[in-house]
Structure 1
Amino acid sequence: MSAHSNDGRVESRPNVVVFVMDTTRALDTVPADADVSPTRAALADEGTEYGQAFSAAPWTLPSHGSLFTGTYPSKHRANGDRTRLDRELPTVAELFGDAGYETVGVSNNVWITEEFGFSRGFETFHAREGSWRDRETLGDLLRNPSGSDGPGFSFTEALSGCLSRDSEAERDKGAERSIEWVREWLQTRNRTRPFFLFVNCIEPHLEYRPPEAYAERFLPEGWSYEEAMAIPQGPREFDVGEFDLSTEELAVLRRLYRAEIAYMDDQLGTVVDALEATGERDETVMAVTSDHGENIGEHGFLGHQYSLYDTVLHVPLVLSGGRFDDDAVTGERMVQTLDLAPTLLDAAGIEAPDAREEFQGRSFHPSADTDPRSKAFAEYAAPRPPIEKLEERFDEIPERIYDLQRSIKAVRTETHKYVRCSDGDEELYEVAADPGETTDISGEATERASDLEASLDSWLASFEQTERTETETVSVEQSTEQRLADLGYL
């Protein structure tokens, strides 16, 4: 029989927190820098930081689909031409719920909502994408004036916020309010059950408009906050050549990006402090990661579409609590974010044998009897936005963008990355010597390219591929469509 704590909770089953720092790349953020990410750095010191962690996709929808199901995009099918997570595969939230956990999801990302199939398995799903001053939020409140979707939100307070002027000094994409919701939920919840908590904070996503106090910590000398905010940041406008960015402007955008990460790290710190305050910190396994990375001028891109470079695939990953605090555990092994599903189940002692048969992720929990990865795989199934959306929006589309309307698959080892595109192009990079992936050596290292291509084909043959006869997308509300456009997806 399992031992029980004084409040009736089963001690042998830890709480589990998955905190997704949206759009945070490993480049210039790994290892965690205490000046930018003190909370993540502290968790890394206590636990384990995995320096070779890779996403299965370069943008939110497919990468979260992989995180939630432990499978690659070709299997879970949520991607650029099919924008809903299927019910065919169990989600990690469902598996924790089946094991008796209280399951709670909190998302500030418009993709990670009920609309696109990501609330499945959560007893409580709190989605508040964007600032509470957004007009769609006001509409929500008018329809639900009691504010019954969670603690801490009075109609009067939110209404006054919606109508107030959004000052440059109070930039926030929803994280602060949502994290306050998490803090109050932790204080008031019934503690007889352990919990599984998923949080997504979208702050580092374009456009980078951090609170002024954070930006001023990182802006180069001679740059004011107002001047930095005036730099154009629209990713699709950049793609089609409506504006160019100088080397200095790109450097400023990277500083704003760091400020967004610092702001988000403080939100993570609030969650950690809340766990301390409720006495549950030592009973909690925390996974802090990202769904994908970002290009800020690298490879000629702004944002995270059209490629599978490490700038968009290599992400931070820290696990703290439980066995991950053991000094004998190292973060040297290659892992993928879809490996978190079986790893966290192992951390909680949940067997879920049927689900594990579907997993393509492999557990890297210290107790797991699994071989370390030698390869990571990634997919970009279809461009987002599709070319027809760009043609509707812009008068002229450069040929370069038409050339990027393709699917891409990649396999990466510790030393090389092979990339194959649906238009027949292939690339090979010696990432150990060329981490910026600046020199394609596929023409000279033909044997290495052939070996990795065979590995890619073998991986694709290892599971049933989804046949797509036509584009399948979710019909969304106008406010959702506007937010997706604002984020560069439409």
Structure 2
Amino acid sequence: MLRRVWLGISGGLLGGTLVGIGEALVVLSGASTGEYQALVYATVLYALIGVAMGIGVGIGLAVLGMVFKKLSDPRAWSLGFLGVLVPLGLVIARYVVNKVVYAEQGVPMTGNLAILGAFAAIALLTLWLVPIVLTKTPLRMLAEPRGTAAAYSGILTLAAIFSFAPSGEDPAGVLAPENPATDAPGGAPDAVLVVIDTLRSDVLGAYGDEGGLSPNIDKVAAEGVLFEEYITQASWTRASFASLYSSMLPSGHKCILKAENLPDDVVTLAEVMDAHGYATGGLPNNINVTRSFNFQQGFDYFSYQAPSYIAGAAESSAQLSMYNVLRKVRDKVTAGSYTVTDYYQPSEVVLENARGFIEANREKNNRYFLVVHLMEPHDPYFAHPYDGNAVGRAWNPNPDPSEAPRLKELYRNEVKWVDQELGKFFDWMREEGAWDNTLVVLTADHGEEFQEHGGWWHGITLYDEQIHVPLIIKPPGRELAGARVPWQVREIDVAPTIGTFAQAELPPTWQGKDIFDSDAKSTIEQMLNPPPPPVLPEDEDGVADADNDGEAQAEAGPVVTPETLARVAVAEQNFEGNDIQAIRKGGCKYIEANEGNPRGLPTTALFELDGDPTEQKNLAGGDAGRCDPSALQSEMKDTIATSADNEITNDEGEMSCSDCERLMALGYMSDCTGPCGG
């Protein structure tokens, strides 16, 4: 009987080790983390899991051996091996197929049968081949304790050598490259792009809120230019950042679904800045926009502000499935007392790292471009000062509607907190002389819903509470200070604007355009310094002749107005089965959603925003007023089709368990059974 238990443990040990090494190799072959600890970590952790499962299988084999007296040792070892390999592999395979092939719509019966058939074939092959190997080859030693120990020790030694071999490079890259500014155009400014995750515009004083939450952001608005109608191209982080960096609609950059990475074929803002002599730095603070999804493109220094790791894990090891077993144990032990660093790094930590990047590059006289990603006020919404209390989408996905005031107050306190920390950072820049001649852009990737349309959080609608967010630009030298721009601009316009300030050549693939083009800039200047009223020509009787003045204006060319400067904004979303497109133009907004979408959105919606800014009166199918739904739909479809007509191919990657768990902790995933092997 003990012999059977041992054979189960032996097979389970090597089966678990094989699964772990396989997953580690997948992790390390994907988007690079810059270190290789995952291989040795997986070799140890998965072996322990294999042993635990192998004990159970071994006991079962002992019972089976009493019933079937002819159960051979090689066959018993094979069953122990398969008892670990098949259950984990089957669950993970089904998850990946659902994610990559069926876009989270559920695997149909034919797909499930195909997966089961594949694993049945693997099991039959193992049951046939392994007994031959364990009886007729030198590998028969694996069926003995010393042989198993020797084989595992050899695997562990090789994994350790590979994992800990010094690379001589910082995984984050080079903090301050050697004099890239020698190639930067003369007079081009340093640039800092601050993205505050999940920030609505209507909670800022500069946008009309009277709660006093954002005095420091409001001060930046007073020193720069505030855009009243700024629209993002998606309402969840990965797709939105992809548009921000690539100046393309989601249909263009093709990073839309949860399983999709940012393709190598896109040209990012960081790549453009790097090519024009800038030291480029990125401080991503959300797993969606890290190396795991290929967002490091173009950055000399790219340091994920990762949540705290446990059990000695590094970034690569934290992407392993079984790492999250430890995490779940910790979460159960600490349930009800939440720690912010388990979800993201707080603003004070990220901004301290931003100071380090700026200081290092100023010391070398480098021209620099830095992206700072702050997670407050993204959920979980933490009380301030931190006391362990928080509300998050991961553990409370659908709060009672009566909770909206309380959750919104927690959200607003997060806004107040991030504003305070930004104030300290901006004051430091002023004291260091790094403020006046720096281009500072402050924006958000999307907003947040608090029951305005019967839901919560973000990512599954394209209503304005989720895509109408702040944009404040402080040009170097405080040019245009205090201006408020009333016309509509878009997220895809930010990269061309920063690139133009850097005097860079803009890629032809970019679909946005400089926010401060000549017409816009001259109009803003006239808004700040209105010219004196024109002197009208007089007729023979000395009376001002308005008709002649109109003829003179017509001869001078078309009149530039805020209406003519407004840019058509198209947004797209395919998130958790909600496939949505929207267009916002001329004070009208048209939205289409797929039939039977999980959120229950109407398949068509039409709003006249001037009279209905909160989008409560759906005019679709009724009196559309001055809005033409057919024309809006046609332009939306044409714009999306034009955007999608390029050589870029979508890049689908296999999501690691750790990435899935982090997405789930931030509310982007509802289940991680597949990649986490449970």
State the TM-score, normalized to the length of structure 1. 0.77
| Partner secondary structure for residue 312 of structure 1 | helix
Which residue is equivalent to 2:194? 19
Which residue is equivalent to 1:294? 448
Out of 276-285 and 418-427, give the one that drifted further: 418-427
Q: Which amino acid aligns with 1:464?
A: A
Which residue is equivalent to 1:421? 593
Distance 1:283 1:166 in 2: 47
Structure 1 unaligned residues grouped into runs of 5+: 1-6, 144-164, 214-224, 385-404
**8 A contact 1:48–1:324 mirrored in 2:** no
Q: Looking at CA atoms only, which structure, 1 or 2, has the larger radius of gyration? A: 2
Distance 1:235 1:376 in 2: 31
What are the superposed Cα offsets for residues 43-91 of structure 1, whole Å, 9 maximum, x if unpaired?
A: 0001111110010001001100000000100000111254200111110
1:103 has 2:296 as partner = no
Which residue is equivalent to 1:205? 378
1:140 has 2:314 as partner = yes
**8 A contact 1:74–1:466 mirrored in 2:** no
Distance 1:477 1:273 in 2: 40
Distance 2:316 2:297 in 1: 26
- Structure with the higher helix share, 1 or 2: 2
**Aligned to 2:575, which of 359, 383, 397?**
383
Which residue is equivalent to 1:484? 663
| Partner secondary structure for residue 342 of structure 1 | helix
**8 A contact 1:250–1:296 mirrored in 2:** yes
| Partner secondary structure for residue 308 of structure 1 | coil
**8 A contact 1:78–1:85 mirrored in 2:** yes
| Partner secondary structure for residue 272 of structure 1 | helix
| Partner secondary structure for residue 95 of structure 1 | helix
Give the C-alpha shift of residue 464 in structure 1.
Answer: 3.4
Which residue is equivalent to 1:342? 496
What are the superposed Cα offsets for residues 293-331 of structure 1, whole Å, 9 maximum, x if unpaired?
A: 111222121111221100100001100123763258542
Which residue is equivalent to 1:219? none
Distance 1:58 1:422 in 2: 17
What are the superposed Cα offsets for residues 22-62 of structure 1, whole Å, 9 maximum, x if unpaired?
A: 01112333635582112210000011111100100010011
What are the superposed Cα offsets for residues 124-178 of structure 1, whole Å, 9 maximum, x if unpaired?
A: 0111133x4x428x522999xxxxxxxxxxxxxxxxxxxxx99979746313222
1:183 has 2:358 as partner = no
Structure 1 residues 171, 464: CA separation in 2 closer, same or farther (over 3 Å shift)? Answer: closer
**Aligned to 1:258, which of 390, 412, 426?**
412
| Partner secondary structure for residue 615 of structure 2 | coil
Runs ≥4 in structure 1, deviation > 6 angstroms? 7-10, 165-170, 368-371, 466-469
Q: Which amino acid aligns with 1:360?
A: Q
Structure 1 residues 342, 368: CA separation in 2 closer, same or farther (over 3 Å shift)? Answer: farther
Distance 1:367 1:90 in 2: 25
Distance 2:350 2:457 in 1: 25
What are the superposed Cα offsets for residues 230-251 of structure 1, whole Å, 9 maximum, x if unpaired?
A: 7x54268534xxx5241xx211
**Aligned to 1:36, which of 192, 210, 213?**
213
Which residue is equivalent to 1:238? 397
What are the superposed Cα offsets for residues 84-128 of structure 1, whole Å, 9 maximum, x if unpaired?
A: 001111100000000000000001111110110111100001111
| Partner secondary structure for residue 412 of structure 1 | strand
1:311-350 aligned at under 5 Å gives the runs 311-322=465-476, 325-327=479-481, 329-350=483-504
| Partner secondary structure for residue 644 of structure 2 | coil
What are the superposed Cα offsets for residues 342-382 of structure 1, whole Å, 9 maximum, x if unpaired?
A: 11111122123xx1x211112112547796234211001x2
Which residue is equivalent to 2:233? 56
Question: Percent identity over the alignment?
Answer: 27
Structure 1 residues 328, 255: CA separation in 2 closer, same or farther (over 3 Å shift)? Answer: closer
Which residue is equivalent to 2:621? 443
**8 A contact 1:168–1:211 mirrored in 2:** no
| Partner secondary structure for residue 282 of structure 1 | coil
| Partner secondary structure for residue 193 of structure 2 | strand
Give the C-alpha shift of residue 450 in structure 1.
Answer: 1.4
Distance 1:455 1:489 in 2: 31
**8 A contact 2:227–2:487 mirrored in 1:** yes
Which residue is equivalent to 2:434? 280
**Aligned to 1:454, which of 612, 615, 634?**
634
Which residue is equivalent to 1:92? 269
**Aligned to 1:112, which of 277, 284, 289?**
289
Q: Which amino acid aligns with 1:459?
A: T
Structure 2 unaligned residues grouped into runs of 5+: 1-180, 318-333, 522-563, 596-601, 670-678
Distance 2:358 2:250 in 1: 33
Q: Which amino acid aligns with 1:451?
A: A
Distance 1:465 1:142 in 2: 36
**8 A contact 2:204–2:218 mirrored in 1:** no
1:463 has 2:638 as partner = no
What are the superposed Cα offsets for residues 397-437 of structure 1, whole Å, 9 maximum, x if unpaired?
A: xxxxxxxx331111012421101123292110112111111
Structure 1 residues 299, 466: CA separation in 2 closer, same or farther (over 3 Å shift)? Answer: farther
State the TM-score, normalized to the length of structure 2. 0.57
**8 A contact 2:205–2:212 mirrored in 1:** no
**8 A contact 2:283–2:302 mirrored in 1:** yes
**8 A contact 1:64–1:291 mirrored in 2:** yes
Q: Quick one: higher RCO (CA 8 Å, sep 6+), 1 or 2?
A: 1
Distance 1:195 1:56 in 2: 27
Give the C-alpha shift of residue 338 in structure 1.
Answer: 1.3
What are the superposed Cα offsets for residues 243-302 of structure 1, whole Å, 9 maximum, x if unpaired?
A: 5241xx211111110111121222322332332233121120000000001112221211
RMSD: 3.2
**Aligned to 2:565, which of 346, 353, 372?**
372
**8 A contact 1:30–1:51 mirrored in 2:** no
Distance 2:569 2:486 in 1: 14
